[in-house]
Structure formats: structure tokens, C-alpha cells
A and B are shown apart, each in its own frame.
Chain A
């Protein structure tokens, strides 16, 4: 069975600084990978997804993620954090038609 780990349950960055949120998955077979964002009191919104077309995936709001098979990783980055990026971020991997989610990383952006 798949498992997903997200290093750091809470990450704080200054406005304008690089955002790096880490995600590692367990399977040796490249699955489909996703990042979702959850703003306070809202549902999950798709940020980006990897479906084997390209290892560097660009998403909404300036985020991107790079799939590295050798490291079984799919880390999320954004060059310059904005206050509006404060939210919880979830990495997910497919297992058949189902998803396995990581525990989430809460991103705080400091002025």
C-alpha cells in the first residue's frame, strides 16, 4: 500500500522568500501525484498534478513541483511567498482510483 510523508507539519517563511514543501511517497512504481491547498474554512483545491507527461509541473498561483523518481519525491516550491499563500498543503498519490493523502503541511507567511 502507498504511503505519503510530508516533512514538517508547519513551515514558516517570510513574505518574498522561497517556499519549499516536501513530499515523499513509498511506491517504486511512479504513480500520479497531486498537491492540494486548503484555505481556512474551505475545501481542498487542486494546485497541480503529475501524470508522467513532464517531471516539472507548473500549477496555479506560481507554484510548481518536480517529480524525482530516484528520490520518490514530489516537492512543492514557489520562488516568492505571498501572504495569500498561507494555508494547509496536502500531497496525495493515487492508488488505483483512490487517493492516499499525506498528513499536510501548514504554511505561515510572515510579513
Chain B
């Protein structure tokens, strides 16, 4: 089984809808991250969490919110989706070493 899982893998939604992307990990890591990937821009950090009680905004947090329900779960919400939030979204974890481990991604399309 994969160490970092994301659901759904693909989602098409309409402008104005609320949507939640979920991430679960079995690596036992404290640190979890949400990124979005856009062509030519690499990965940009949306939110990160160093433990259940520690959540921080990243470079591009506007229009997004997160919830760290447990050490293993970190959800990303779009309260009112807009077309320019169409992107590939990745969850990642980080442990005691510096490496980050990525989930398979969620492809979100906002019409």
C-alpha cells in the first residue's frame, strides 16, 4: 500500500462549489504539506502543518483552508472554487530527516 494517499484522484466541479481534497499517510510523519502544481510554475506551497495543533499558511493560501484531523490526515478545502484553482494538487509528508514524500496527486478541474 502507498505511504501517502490522496482522494479523489480526479475531480471536476463547478464554480462556487465547496470541495475537499483528502490526504492520509502511514509514514508516521509529523509534518504534512499541500502544494499545487501548474505548468511552468513548479510546485507552490499552499499550507503546511508541523503537528496537529500547528498549521501555517504557505505562499498561495488565499482561497484555501485546511484541517489536520489527526497526525495521519490533512485535508485541503476550497470554500468556493474558481476556475483558476484548476490544477494538480499534491500532499506530502516530512519526517525527522529533510526529505518530503509525495502522494500521487489530485487533478482538479473547476468549470
A residues adjacent to B (C-beta < 8 A): 4, 9, 32, 34, 36, 42-46, 49, 51, 90, 94, 97-99, 101-104
Contacts and interface: CB of A to CB of B under 8 A. Distances in A.
B42 A49 contact: no
Interface residues of B, number: 24
B99 A49 contact: yes
Contacts of B94: 97
Given A9-B40, A43-B104, A101-B43, A34 B99 contact: yes
A42 B104 contact: yes
Describe B's contact surface by its main secondary structure: strand
Contacts of B100: 99
Given A43-B105, A44-B102, A49-B98, A98 B48 contact: yes
22 contacts: A4-B42, A42-B104, A42-B105, A43-B4, A44-B43, A44-B90, A46-B99, A46-B101, A49-B98, A90-B42, A97-B48, A97-B94, A97-B98, A98-B33, A98-B45, A98-B48, A99-B45, A101-B35, A101-B42, A101-B44, A103-B41, A104-B40
A94 B33 CA distance: 14
A97 B31 contact: yes
Nearest to B91: A43
Contacts of A103: 40-42
B50 interface: yes
Nearest to A33: B98
Nearest to B43: A101
